[in-house]
Chain A
Amino acid sequence: MEHVILPALGEGIEKAKVACWHASIGDQVAVDTDIVELVTDKAIFNVSAEASGILREICVGEGREAKIGEVLAVIEPR
């Protein structure tokens, strides 16, 4: 399983809010495609899939906050 992690976004930024998911559980996602958008300060940050596969789990729903380093989703590589 491949974990999609919220990367470090800069000094003093500890968390970001999930604005929207571009994929749903069960969807086939391709490597390098954006799957989730997060908001912090006045920035939108897109996180992409690091592996192609099936999106098996969304760990942080829309409107919820995630901490830096937190697992946002789980992809089953194909």
Chain B
Amino acid sequence: MIQEMTTCCVEDLGLIDYKQAYILQKQHVAEVLNGGPQTFLLCEHPAVLTLGRLADEKNMLIDEKELVKQGIGIHHIDRGGDITLHAPGQLVIYPILDLGNFGKDLRRYLHRLEQVAIDLLGDFDIVASRFSGQTGVWTGGKKIASVGIGVRKWIAFHGLAVNVNTDLNLFSMIKPCGLDVEMTSIAGMKKRTVQMAEVKEKMTNHFCRNFRLECVKD
């Protein structure tokens, strides 16, 4: 259903506070609604927990006071999915896309986001795939990438998080996505640290190719 190639502005936000990035996303959604350019945001967040609209707080396995003590934020947000964790070393992408250009199909959009992660991981010789009945991307029975989106007037926000060099111990604070699941990362699979700049570049390329977008760097 993808039509002719459209452009998309790529913006690397670096390490950015979750709420600040959320505000930026909403600004970009408003811009797209007003005929502005679609945008592809890449970033990392300081450690933060986010709960989707129908999240079960039982999936947070740590006391809120303990979170405050550790300086870890918590946000209830307007995306699908349960609880998740963001932390440095995890690459998060927020494509602000007009799904009107992509067939107005939520499931197909989520699949395409997962494909971006699968292709990225392939560059590191990690064989990853979808897991029947679950969203996200998995390798060797462990989850390596999570998806969750919000849509307003067919403009998508939120997106995809891939563990690159994430401290996997942090996931012990939650039951990720409400599942009894072990998380992994590119570094965990390759037994070495990976350069985030390299991952960002590969991620941008796979995103543009999968969505047939001409990506323009700011």
Contact = CB atoms under 8 A, between A and B. Distances in A.
Interface string B77-117: 01111000000000000000000000111111110000000
A8 interface: yes
Contact of A19 (B53, B151, B153): B53
B178 to A, nearest CB: 11
Contact of B53 (A11, A13, A37): A37
A65 to B, nearest CB: 12
Interface stretch (A41-49, A51-59, A69-77): A41-49
A4 to B, nearest CB: 14
A39 B152 CA distance: 12
| Interface size, A (range) | 20 to 34
A34 interface: yes
Contacts of B52: 39, 42, 44
A42 B160 CA distance: 11
B104 A10 contact: yes
B54 A43 contact: no
Given A37-B78, A42-B80, A45-B151, A9 B105 contact: yes
B148 interface: yes
Contacts of A12: 107
A interface majority secondary structure: strand
B158 to A, nearest CB: 8
B104 A34 contact: no
Nearest to B153: A48
A44 B104 contact: no
B23 to A, nearest CB: 17
B81 A42 contact: yes
Interface of B: 52-54, 78-81, 103-110, 135, 147-153
Given A19-B54, A43-B109, A43-B110, 14 more contacts: A8-B104, A9-B107, A10-B107, A11-B105, A19-B53, A39-B80, A41-B106, A41-B110, A41-B135, A42-B52, A42-B149, A43-B106, A44-B149, A46-B152
Interface of A: 8-13, 17, 19-20, 32, 34, 37, 39-46, 48
Q: Which 3 A-B pairs have the closest CB atoms?
A: A10-B105, A42-B80, A19-B53
